[in-house]
Amino acid sequence: MTEPSVSEASGGATHKDVVCPYCGLGCDDVTLEVSGTAVEAKEGVCGRAAALFRRGAEPAPSARVNGREAPLDAAIAAAAELLSHARSPVYAGLGADVDGVRQIIKLAARTGGSVDHYASTGLFRNLATSQRRGWIATTLAEVRNHCDLFVVVGPDPSEQFHRLYERVTPKTGRFLAGPRKIVFLGGAPSEEARAQLEGSTIEIVAVPEGELVEALSRLQALVSGLVPPAGGVELAPLAEALKAAKYAVLAWNAGGLGADGDLVIERAVAVVETLNVETRAACLPLAGRDNLIGANQTFLWNVGFPLRTGFRGGIADHDQAAYAGASALKSADILVWVSAFRPERPPASDAQIIALAHPATEFEREPEVFIPVGQPGLDHAGLAFRTDVVVSVPLKRYRDAGLISVAEAVRRISEGRS
């Protein structure tokens, strides 16, 4: 991670080596041009991140209470008043930096209620397998430097992780000589992915819809030296390539695997375990949108449980089903929606809404309280985690738009309840 550099030009500033906080890859080579409050991402950025970084010169919107503009202090007081009468609050969205999540935990412990990140479905698919049987996982740097055979399981993850192949399959690795082989098992690369993979060998192994679990079971049998039943997808060449590889990696985007995602992950992990008897292989489980990994890590440090945890009477309780955001909302009277990285809408609900949200958020129903908040890595400094968990990335401040951070907003709401 390099220190961001800055140059001044024509009344504005150009910042290089900026960290992108959106998808979890932690790309740190973005160039931002900032003039006053206006922002444009010019280099080292995918199209989606460029749109999310972009800001105009217009002032940020004011806070609102019941649809009417209000001073920030009044909105803070209104949120505190609503929470003081809450019977079953739900803290959801959770798109914040580590400090923001830490403050939300403190507030939820005082008010009661459940906490979940809006993108946690994939995370818990991954956790389900790691809890049941463990796994051998790797990092983006290890894949970049050592992997000679990269197997993409299921749909192409670059639909969500746009620069994935640019990050993990460069033309050469520090310790890797020769071209890389990329196999898409059950999916196909996008045109954007093909452009990133130029110079690598690409193969596609088509798998009929709904048969990916069976295909991975057959693949495990083959790498074990067993003969699976006749029929099904032809996987013998892939099995031989995996056994011959010096460092094979199976990667997947858990959030895109569908209803049988848990089983797909479990079978992929079994293939990696089998390979490690004779050679070296690892998993690269992808998840991490809007600091999902950082939110989960913060829960583990502070509470001892992962996300999808509820608080009652000062006691924490973890239940992956009951405290999932959609489930908890069914009985919620107040939804505290937090989304600082992007203008993500809160889910439909009959609950009253306190929104600590991106200034550009367009709501289907006006919240009872709306407090526009700044983005970590643009409006204030913070800390986020990469998808591979092992690396935390420092996010810097690049402009002053007068927007409060999630951590500060939640702290002041909590003090207002005192």
Q: Choose between 242 and 7: higher pLDDT.
A: 242
Task: Give dist(CA 369, CA 355) in Å, integer.
Answer: 6
Contacts of 310-314 with C-beta under 8 Å, sequence gap 24+, read: 310/112, 310/113, 310/114, 310/115, 311/108, 311/109, 311/111, 311/112, 311/113, 311/114, 311/115, 312/112, 313/112, 314/109
pLDDT at residue 251 is higher than 60: yes
Residue 287, pLDDT score:
86
Can 63-119+290-416 and 122-287 be said to share one CATH topology? Answer: no
Residue 207, pLDDT score:
94
Residue 169, pLDDT score:
83
Sketch the domain layout of the chain as residue ranges.
Answer: 5-53, 63-119+290-416, 122-287
- Tell me the per-residue pLDDT of 263-285, one tens digit each, with 9 for 90 and over: 999 999 999 999 999 999 999 99
pLDDT at residue 9 is higher than 60: no
The rounded mean pLDDT for the chain is: 92
Residue 288, pLDDT score:
84
Residue 178, pLDDT score:
64
Work out the average pLDDT over 239-247: 95
- Tell me the per-residue pLDDT of 369-383, one tens digit each, with 9 for 90 and over: 999 999 999 999 999
* CATH class assigned to 63-119+290-416: alpha beta
Record: fold of 122-287: Dimethylsulfoxide Reductase; domain 2 (3.40.228)
pLDDT at residue 11 is higher than 60: no
pLDDT at residue 10 is higher than 50: no
- The fraction of the chain above a pLDDT of 70, given in percent, is 95
Q: For residue 216, count other CB atoms closer than 10 A to its CB.
A: 27
